Structure 1
Amino acid sequence: MDAVVKTISPRTSQAQNLMEEQVGSGLRASQQYLACAVWFDQRDLPRLASYFYRQSLRKRDHAMRIVQYMIDNSVAVEVPSVEAVRNDFSDPRELIALAVEQERVATDEVTTLSRVLREEGDYLGEQFVRWFLSEQVDEIAQMNTMLNVADRSQGNMFDLEDYLKRESVENERYESGAPQVAGGKLR
């Protein structure tokens, strides 16, 4: 009996290359959020630590959703290396400001990917990326709110801890329509 081997095509479009770059960006964001979580955890701020640990898993899952999409479409995937992340901060506000900037960059990257998919006439890819665009709206809104609360707290991180305890910042509303995660979700 002859074995059937699945054909994996090399990346042939700019959009496919951007998808792989987005995998790297998502994994780097995951690592940066992990570094933030550890920083908060070491300073006995458990709600902030928990929030950033979850963000780390979310970003990892985002990257793995793209991996699964590429696998499903028989497109070659190479998992990129992740550059070093920032671990040293002087105050908690710096971490949240870094997260806001990280989400803005992610939004710009996903928007560019969406535009290129449209230009290339890849309507299935464009449909796939819509979930990420919606997700980024919420990610930026959450991080901006956290930065505003941090600013109003004037350095009292217990105010931000109370905010996280009081408010529901777990955004799972898009999970039902979310693309599959390669290897399954970790949370």
Structure 2
Amino acid sequence: MIIKPKVVEAMNAQIQSEFTASAQYVAIAVYFDEETLPDLAAFFYRQAEEERMHAMKFVHFLLEAGAKPIIPGLPEMRNEFASASDAVQFALDQEIKVTNQINNILSIAEAEKDYASIQFLQWFVTEQVEEVDSMTTLLNTIKHSGGALLLVEDFVRRTMAAGGGEEAAE
């Protein structure tokens, strides 16, 4: 095994966080589907797939490094939201939590002089900046819409479509 045991332990915990985020985003997407907001629903279904992909990156990295990934059970998901802003605020809080977890794993890898893991984690550091920015933008858009969620739907369709953020807007 080329990576340090403390890093393996932290990455296995992160696998659970990423799979949990994926399942939670499905729950948020279902909320938006039930509210007949298909563009917001589609955005969160895509986010769910992205979080699953993040978990799988950790799984494959651990396997390639000769470590054993642990595929955990998941906690109960939150399925009820008071409003669109409540759902997106919950997603933003989750992204901030994941960002802190990634930074913690990176700190462990640095302390352990685990250079392969440090290199691997750099992608996640950049990705989390984008994720927090995306959720912050969406939350601010909802707040500024004055409750006009069809305007938010239009914004999501134009700027957060399948290609994502800035690329979709160009």
Aligned to 2:112: 120
Structure 1 residue runs of 5 or longer lacking an equivalent are 1-8, 174-187
CA distance in 1, matches of 2:13, 2:77: 17
Q: TM-score, normalised by structure 1?
A: 0.84
Q: Which residue of 1 aligns with 2:150?
A: 158
Aligned-residue offset at 1:154: 1.8
**Counterpart for residue 70 of structure 2:** 78
Q: Secondary structure at the match of 2:146?
A: coil
2:130 is equivalent to residue 138 of structure 1:
yes
1:64 aligns with 2:56: yes
Identify the residue that residue 13 of structure 1 maps to in structure 2: 5
Secondary structure of 1:76's partner?
A: coil
Q: Which has the larger radius of gyration?
A: 1
Alignment CA distance shift 1:60-1:172 (3 Å): farther
> Aligned partners of 1:34 and 1:168: how far apart in 2?
17
**Unpaired runs of 5+ in structure 2?**
none
Question: Which structure has greater helix proportion?
Answer: 2
Structure 1 stretches of at least 4 aligned residues deviating more than 3 Å after TM superposition: 168-173
- Give the CA RMSD over aligned residues: 1.6
Against the structure 1 CA distance between its residues 165 and 172, is the aligned structure 2 distance closer, same or farther, given a 3 Å change threshold?
Answer: closer
How far is the alpha carbon of 1:171 from its aligned partner? 3.7
